[in-house]
């Protein structure tokens, strides 16, 4: 197929180009005459494994071959656009794109959580009867609040496959909302379990720290740093195994300590983050040390009601251990290694973690294969593992919007089909907003709430942006280039049972 199309250039101007599909390639010339004269194309895209997606601009769509830059195209009318889309699908490596998954394919069964921008449901896929968690986010609300995390989070999750990390199965958008279909982690949050059972037995702490460490090691091997490890982001599956969720603050393509975004949860910030120096995977191991400490002692080592005082303690005070709760010297040594304030000297590799004498009798291979029984046995009924404030809520069917809706280009995904997507570009933002006290334990402030966990972890809030304004294509530069995340966890566990404020945030957005 060939003909003239408008192409969005890097300077945001639309220019007409002569375009031809042949031999799984999409080639561009300035004119048809140029092509016929034998001139080489000015641009060529490989359609194998290309991602095709529609955008808000009429008669416009986007093509992203593998991980290359997205190209935006526009036809003269809807009919012509459909002809081009059909032709492009034909030359996709699979011969066609997969059958589209929509909201109608899922039946909502239970509200698991909610927040400022949406809800998380337990759903059943109608054709298979399989249960999933479905995160539903309002694009319009996120666009107005300049949210960017859904696309970057989805981009990371689509490439991840690990037994202790939540799996993304589908993502799609319709009726002004984004949807992520994820594993149903039916056992509830580690945070909730700690509310009921902390301080935890040392063997329990070792078991879950080891599962989380395996997940972190996997991420780091793929040059991804997580950056928001805490009990709220660790969720049990139905067998009681721990899974990482909520990748809104994760960063990919980190090959060394070169990330500069100031982000995370205040109590869990590593010293290098507070100093504003480049950071890498060591920040995740610091957070693991803090989480182990909190599981074991039901407190945080550097906590202070005054945020400035708390930051001073993180930077200057050495970790100490309470006398009223017993812990082995091996466990204390491991925590000290993880909480070394110098990231270069900190225990920061999976190999070093596994080799520590604390885990002499733990078979990590059997653990990763899920052949070891988990200490926690969740209730078989997911409704009993989540906050009744949410699970008792009546399911209300979503009404189609009566106005033009915001669209996020390239969000649609199905595991195992076309798995490539661009990440939004970012630029620095203004300073982090002041922390404000939360009105209730699960109240949310300033933003994101329904995370990739099957719990809408409203203890955190985050705001970011990657939505596209109605009537504008989601072109390079079309994203709101700002990221600012704030989540909510401000006190040791005992205090957080009654109030909280502040939380995960992203000050810059690099």
Residue ranges at the known binding site: 135
What is the distance, to the nearest Å, from the Cα of residue 441 to the centroid of all Cα atoms in its chain?
A: 23
What is the C-alpha to C-alpha distance for residues 147 and 467, in angstroms, rounded to an integer? 7
Are 258 and 464 contacting, i.e. CB atoms less than 8 angstroms apart? no
Burial class (CB in 10 A: 0-12, 13-18, 19+), 11: exposed
What is the C-alpha to C-alpha distance for residues 49 and 304, in angstroms, rounded to an integer? 51
Q: Which residues contribute to the annotated binding site for ATP?
A: 135
What is the C-alpha to C-alpha distance for residues 100 and 503, in angstroms, rounded to an integer? 37
Are 166 and 235 contacting, i.e. CB atoms less than 8 angstroms apart? yes
What is the C-alpha to C-alpha distance for residues 222 and 219, in angstroms, rounded to an integer? 5
Catalytic choice (23, 86, 105, 228): 228
Burial class (CB in 10 A: 0-12, 13-18, 19+), 182: buried
Q: Where are the beta strands (DSSP E) in 336-493?
A: 413-414, 463-464, 483-484
Strand order in the sheet with 188-189: 188-189, 234-236, 242-244
Residue 60 pairs with which residues in a beta bridge? 74
Are 171 and 178 contacting, i.e. CB atoms less than 8 angstroms apart? yes
- Read off the tokens for 203: 């063997």
What is the C-alpha to C-alpha distance for residues 272 and 279, in angstroms, rounded to an integer? 6
Indicate if 228 belongs to the active site: yes
Query: What are the catalytic residues?
Result: 228
């Amino acid at each position: 197929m060939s003909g003239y199309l408008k192409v969005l250039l890097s300077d945001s101007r639309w220019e007409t180009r002569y375009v031809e599909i042949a031999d799984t390639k999409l080639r561009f010339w300035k004119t048809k005459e140029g092509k016929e004269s034998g001139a080489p194309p000015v641009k060529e895209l490989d359609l194998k494994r290309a991602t095709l997606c529609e955008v808000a601009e009429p008669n416009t769509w986007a093509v992203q071959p593998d991980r290359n830059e997205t190209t935006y195209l526009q036809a003269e009318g809807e009919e012509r656009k459909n002809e081009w889309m059909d032709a492009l699908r034909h030359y996709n490596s699979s011969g066609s794109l997969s059958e589209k998954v929509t909201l109608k394919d899922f039946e909502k069964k239970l509200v698991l959580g909610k927040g400022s921008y949406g809800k998380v449901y337990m759903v059943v896929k109608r054709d298979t009867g399989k249960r999933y968690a479905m995160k539903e986010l309002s694009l319009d609300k996120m666009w107005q609040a300049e949210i960017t995390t859904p696309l970057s989070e989805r981009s990371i999750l689509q490439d991840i496959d690990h037994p202790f990390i939540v799996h993304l199965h589908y993502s799609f958008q319709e009726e002004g909302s984004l949807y992520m279909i994820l594993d149903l982690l039916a056992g509830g949050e580690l945070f909730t379990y700690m509310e009921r059972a902390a301080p935890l037995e040392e063997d329990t702490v070792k078991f879950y720290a080891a599962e989380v460490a395996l997940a972190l090691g996997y991420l780091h091997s793929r040059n991804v740093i997580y950056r928001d490890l805490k009990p709220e982001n660790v969720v049990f599956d139905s067998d009681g195994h721990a899974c990482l969720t909520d990748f809104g603050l994760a960063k990919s393509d980190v090959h060394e300590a070169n990330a500069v975004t100031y982000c995370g949860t205040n109590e869990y910030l590593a010293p290098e983050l507070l100093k504003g120096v480049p950071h890498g995977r060591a920040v995740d191991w610091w957070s693991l040390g803090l989480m182990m400490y909190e599981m074991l002692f039901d407190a945080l080592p550097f906590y202070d009601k005054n945020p400035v005082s708390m930051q001073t303690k993180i930077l200057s005070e050495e970790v100490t251990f309470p006398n009223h709760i017993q812990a082995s010297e091996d466990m204390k040594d491991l925590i000290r290694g993880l909480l070394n304030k110098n990231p270069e000297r900190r225990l920061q590799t999976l190999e070093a973690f596994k080799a520590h004498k604390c885990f002499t009798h733990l078979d990590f291979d059997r653990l990763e294969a899920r052949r070891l029984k988990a200490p926690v046995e969740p209730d078989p009924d997911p409704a009993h593992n989540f906050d009744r404030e949410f699970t008792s809520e009546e399911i209300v069917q979503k009404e189609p919007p009566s106005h033009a809706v915001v669209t996020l280009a390239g969000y649609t995904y199905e595991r195992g089909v076309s798995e490539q997507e661009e990440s939004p570009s970012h630029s620095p933002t203004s300073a982090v907003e002041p922390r404000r006290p939360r009105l209730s334990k699960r109240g949310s402030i300033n933003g994101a709430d329904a995370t990739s966990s099957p719990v809408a972890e409203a203890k955190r809030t985050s705001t970011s942006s990657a939505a596209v304004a109605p009537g504008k294509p989601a072109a390079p530069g079309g994203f709101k280039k700002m990221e600012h995340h704030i989540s909510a966890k401000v006190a040791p566990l005992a205090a957080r049972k009654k109030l909280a404020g502040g939380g995960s945030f992203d000050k810059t957005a690099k």
